[in-house]
Amino acid sequence: MCPRRLHHEHGSRSKPSPLGDAAFEVTNRLVQDAITWHEGGDPTIPGFPDPLDLEVEQQAAYRAAASAYTARFGSVAVEVHDLGWATDFPDLGVQLICSPGIPLVTADESCEIRVLRVGGRTLIDDVEVRCLLLRASEWAPDGFRIVVFDLLENDLVVYDIDVAARLDDTVEWFRARVEAIRSRADRFAAVSGADCRACQCIPGCPKVTAAV
């Protein structure tokens, strides 16, 4: 990433990318509607209202994905929890900002984070697993399950996370990533390229002013 943009995003206390980005409109809508449905407490009541404000192709993807979610998870009542959008790390002076999926507690009192995909190439990678561990460690100190479900491909994987066994190493990994970001971030060094698209720190950018 451009050092100037990295400096801006690292120093910001808000999520850089809007929740409504077109590439995530269907997934974000599905996650929020699934949460609302579960919070209603009665899985027999239909959820997932028809998304008539989306584009035609998005509506088709949404309906197919909502049907798959209902078929897979709709028969079991769960208790949805809220982990917020960020976790503070005061000793590092940072917040970890990322979606926690759908954190919930099942009927057998086990903690689960449900991650939804809509035709994604990769269901989940090691970085996201580590971030979910950091986000959920206080909520589920005895461990939790990550359930990743691709709603269009009908592909599901489950990971059992032993928080006690993995937390210390994951915190050290996170600390090293923070230091790598800080060593790279520089508000006075800019690199033009793909990062310029939708960049929030174009004003005053030395690359832009030099080109004018």
**Closest CA relative to residue 148, chosen from 45, 47, 73, 96:** 73
Give residue-wise pLDDT tens across range 156-181.
Answer: 999 999 999 999 999 999 999 999 99
Strand residue runs (E) in the chain: 79-80, 86-89, 94-97, 102-105, 111-117, 144-150, 155-161
* pLDDT at site 66: 95
According to DSSP, residue 31 is labeled: H
Confidence band for 99, pLDDT divided at 50, 70 and 90: confident
* pLDDT at site 20: 44
**What is the rounded CA–CA span in Å between residue 198 and residue 34?**
30
Please state the pTM of the whole predicted model: 0.84
Task: Please name each of the domains of the chain with its CATH number.
Answer: 3-207 (3.90.320)
Q: Are 5 and 189 in contact (CB under 8 A)?
A: no
Give residue-wise pLDDT tens across range 53-85.
Answer: 999 999 999 999 999 999 999 888 899 999 998
Residue 212: pLDDT over 70? no
Give residue-wise pLDDT tens across range 2-36.
Answer: 998 888 888 876 655 544 455 578 889 999 999 99
